[in-house]
Amino acid sequence: MMVSVIVPIYNAEQYLSVCLESILKQTYKDLEVILVEDGSTDGSLQICMKYAERDARISILQEGHHGLVAARKLGVEKAEGTYCMFVDSDDWIEENLLESIIPLTENGTADIVSFNVKSVEADRIRKWEYTIAEGRYEDEQLEQIYEKMMFDFEKGCPGVIQSIWTKLMKRELLWSSIKSVDERITLGEDAAVVYHAFLLAKKIIITNQYLYYYRIHQDSMVRSKNMNVFEKIYIFQQYMRSLFLKFENKYGLEKQLQAYLIHFIVKGISDNFSLKMRKSYHIPLGLLEKEKKIILYGAGVVGKSYYRQLMAYEDIQVVAWVDGGMGNQSFYDCIIESPEVMDFIDYDKVLIAVKDQKIAGEIKKRLCKKIPEERVLWAEPKDYWWEKEITL
């Protein structure tokens, strides 16, 4: 069963050889390698030609510079494999990637096999994870994916990683989901194909194997002011909405799309207006009852969110804001004091403002050496995906 490995290439000479070597060293040999050279102005084409001379499985496609979406379409259109997968030209894959996932197609009956990725930045490696459990999904089981594939509201992130390069897909399915993609899309290119393909699939296999390496380099980390990002978000949103209409907006797809876009909107605001945004944490309902005088313990992100909320309560007074490591600093015209000040203040309760349960437990244990346990309050702070606040 032949696999078509498609590599879109544009000005990638620095990393291209590593990418191609990892493909050609695959222990699974029945493959073709399609290099879509998208009008590079560096030495990428020469590298492609060198490798094509070396290995007959490689073919090179050239049609000028038309962008990533067009390059991917061309690669799939010319592919002859039963299955296709993409590798970005600055990434690389495990030598046993195909050997590991081909058996998971269950003799070619699976439409998609989705695997995991590690991102590599200098010497730092981070694992990306799904919230969809490993396993086989078909028939009514597919709804378990569809209801949270673009955004899992319980976990606050996509249920399925949107990257197209962590998916082995049947060529016919991939072509059905990519051929009509709006070529103006330059933000969300992967998601535009992947989530459509998932909705069209009859059998999907999820594996937790980490087989792909995504390179994060300085070029990909550059942030610049570009107001066009909001137009890009709009183009992507309109395209995805047009797809979801065909599915009568089942599975909360429109709501998932809105949540998915928040990340791009926040990044656009940050890049263009130099505003840093973070989660907003809510004091859990019922934690504060009849208390009038509160000592707020913790001046980190959670503490700052709590302080602003407490200032809105007319019947609650923050008599002190304390933090063991931030004494004498000032936030919102309030001086952060050392916890020792608690010995000299009249108060009803101490509200611990930290997210981590273990750290909160350690703080509570220290406090309870001096005061009764019922005077110390903590519950896990609540945050909602749609709420962000500006960091000043």
Instruction: Give the 3-state secondary structure of residue 3.
Output: strand
Residue 107 CA to residue 88 CA, distance in Å, equals 27
Dihedral sign (CA 300, 304, 305, 307) = positive
Q: What is the spatial distance between Cα 4 and Cα 253, in angstroms, rounded to a whole number? A: 31
pLDDT at 124: 85
pLDDT at 100: 97
Judge contact between 234 and 185, C-beta under 8 A.
Answer: no
Poorest-pLDDT segment among 39-48, 86-95, 271-280, 366-375? 271-280
**Distances from the Cα of 379 to the Cαs of 283, 286, 299, 371, 376, in angstroms?**
8, 10, 16, 18, 10
For residues 358 and 207, give the distance between their C-alpha atoms in angstroms, rounded to a whole number.
31
What per-residue confidence (pLDDT) applies to 223? Answer: 47
Between 62 and 291, name the one with better pLDDT: 62
DSSP assigned state of 150 = S
Residue 286 vs residue 62, higher pLDDT: 62
The tokens for 195 are: 């989530």
> Would residue 252 be called left, alpha or beta, if left means φ above 0 and alpha means ψ between -120 and 50 degrees?
left
CA distance 248 to 250: 5
- What is residue 285's predicted lDDT score, i.e. its pLDDT? 65
Question: In terms of pLDDT, which residue wins out, 392 or 253?
Answer: 253
Give the predicted TM-score (pTM) of the model: 0.76
In sequence order, what DSSP letters do the residues of 348-382 get, joined into one string?
A: SEEEE--S-HHHHHHHHHHHTTTS-GGGEE--PPE
For residue 225, what pLDDT is reported? 60
pLDDT band at residue 218, thresholds of 50, 70 and 90?
low
Residues 108-131 pLDDT 10s: 999 999 999 999 988 788 888 788
Q: Is the pLDDT of residue 29 over 90?
A: yes
Pairing, β 167-170 against β 92-93: unpaired
Q: What is the pLDDT of residue 387?
A: 66
CB 212 within 8 A of CB 93: yes
pLDDT tops 90 at residue 93: yes
Exposure of 189 by Cβ count < 10 A (0-12 exposed, 13-18 middle, 19+ buried)? buried
In this predicted structure, what is the pLDDT of residue 270?
A: 77
Residue 160: closest CA among 131, 140, 187, 134: 131
Q: Which residue has the tokens 């195909």?
A: 98
The tens digit of pLDDT for each residue in 348-364 reads 999 999 998 999 999 99
Mean pLDDT (the chain) is 90
The pLDDT of residue 391: 65
Q: How confident is the model at residue 221 (pLDDT cuts 50, 70, 90)?
A: very low
What are the tens digits of pLDDT across the range 308-322?
888 888 788 899 999
Break the chain down into helix, strand, coil percent, rounded to 5.
Answer: 40, 25, 35
Is pLDDT of 70 > 90?
yes
Q: What is the torsional sign of CA 281, 285, 287, 288?
A: positive
